[in-house]
Amino acid sequence: MTIQGSSPGRRPQLHVIATYPRDETTASKRPALPLAALSIGILPKSLYTTVILSTSRPRKYLSMSSLKGPTPQQHDGSGLRIGIVHARWNDSVIAPLVAGAKEKLLACGVKESNIVVQSCPGSFELPFAVQRLFSASQIQSTSAGAPSATDLLASSTTDLTSLSSGAASGAFDAIIAVGVLIKGETMHFEYIADAVSHGLMRVQLDTGIPVIFGVLTVLSDEQAQARAGINGKGHNHGEDWGLAAVEMGVKRREWTQGKIEG
């Protein structure tokens, strides 16, 4: 049983959760018990599993949070290259989220030629797509920065310097992963949301590149639309992801160079 926060003179909301024996072969010997029996240590938790009996949720969970996000910081993104990888499921919501992210990237000075947008079938594919896109940008950067044998023979040392600095493509400074997961009738939602969250975290830690988590995990179409700013309602979270990508891209460069501003 879980108890939501209460105020003086108001009874707390209760959500009933029952516990059932883990071992089906001995189920008749251990009947279902209230969760309180486990939480206060009457019975070992290893013998029981919990099942939510009530799917009703406190009303506050069905609306957007009243808490505000971080205050946007001003960063110059003119030297950054940013990637956006989005799933194609729920495209009517994906499209405005990607557009919102691009709008903020451009507003921060990121050149349109340095914004690369790629897609993948669904959110489950996002971690792999982000990882391989970053790897491709590294290869692209190395290839673009290295002069060919013909260039080496035909150019002076001064010319070689200009060849190297003129590389048009570089590795991404940050990548935004965009997806929309809407709760259905099965556990598919929970499995995908958990896998994608951990996968994207692993990618950014393994590669050292900031990966902005732009995956909506919502309970209804209406919640998704509100978080994409559709029909003038709610707020387009894609804008926040664009700002976060610029901030983290700039800071990553500074930290890589050993610069730490107080």
Output the domain CATH number for residue 219: 3.40.50.960
Is 182 within 8 Å of 189 (Cβ atoms)?
A: yes
Which one of the listed residues 75, 188, 198, 237 is annotated catalytic? 188
Residue 114 makes CB contacts below 8 A (sequence gap 6+) with: 80, 81, 82
| pLDDT for the residue 68 | 67
| pLDDT for the residue 156 | 43
Q: Are residues 200 and 243 in the same domain?
A: yes
Q: Are residues 123 and 246 in the same domain?
A: yes
Domain range for 177 is: 82-144+152-256
Is 101 within 8 Å of 214 (Cβ atoms)?
A: yes
Q: Are residues 20 and 101 in the same domain?
A: no
What type of residue sits at position 133?
L
Q: Is residue 206 part of a domain?
A: yes
- Helix, strand, coil percentages for the chain (3-state, nearest 5): 45, 20, 35
Q: Are residues 22 and 86 in the same domain?
A: no
Name the one residue in this structure whose structure tokens are 């150019």.
155
Q: Are residues 207 and 244 in the same domain?
A: yes
237 is catalytic: no
Three-state DSSP state, 122: coil
Q: Are residues 110 and 192 in the same domain?
A: yes
232 — phi, psi (to 5°)? 70, 10
Q: Is residue 65 part of a domain?
A: no
Q: Are residues 156 and 191 in the same domain?
A: yes
Rounded Cα–Cα distance for residues 80 and 170 (Å): 9
Burial level of 26, CB count in 10 A (0-12/13-18/19+)? exposed
Q: Are residues 88 and 164 in the same domain?
A: yes
Q: Is residue 18 part of a domain?
A: yes
Is 174 within 8 Å of 212 (Cβ atoms)?
A: yes
Q: Are residues 136 and 231 in the same domain?
A: yes
235 — phi, psi (to 5°)? -140, 135
CA torsion through residues 83, 88, 91, 93, sign: negative
| pLDDT for the residue 80 | 98
Q: Is residue 261 part of a domain?
A: no
| pLDDT for the residue 145 | 58
Is 110 within 8 Å of 79 (Cβ atoms)?
A: no
| Element (DSSP H or E) covering residue 197 | helix 188-207
Print pLDDT tens along the chain (262 aa): 444 444 444 444 444 344 444 444 444 444 444 444 434 444 444 444 444 444 444 444 445 555 667 777 889 999 999 999 999 999 999 999 999 999 999 999 999 999 999 999 999 999 999 999 999 999 988 876 555 444 444 444 434 334 333 334 789 999 999 999 999 999 999 999 999 999 999 999 999 999 999 999 999 999 999 999 999 889 999 999 999 999 999 999 999 999 998 6
Q: Are residues 128 and 217 in the same domain?
A: yes
Whose CA is closest to 75, among 261, 205, 231, 230?
261
Q: Is residue 120 part of a domain?
A: yes
Q: Is residue 119 part of a domain?
A: yes
Q: Is residue 75 part of a domain?
A: no
Structural domain total, the chain: 2
Rounded Cα–Cα distance for residues 87 and 28 (Å): 47
Is 192 within 8 Å of 125 (Cβ atoms)?
A: no
249 — phi, psi (to 5°)? -65, -45
Q: Are residues 200 and 120 in the same domain?
A: yes
Q: Is residue 138 part of a domain?
A: yes
Q: Are residues 18 and 97 in the same domain?
A: no
| pLDDT for the residue 41 | 46
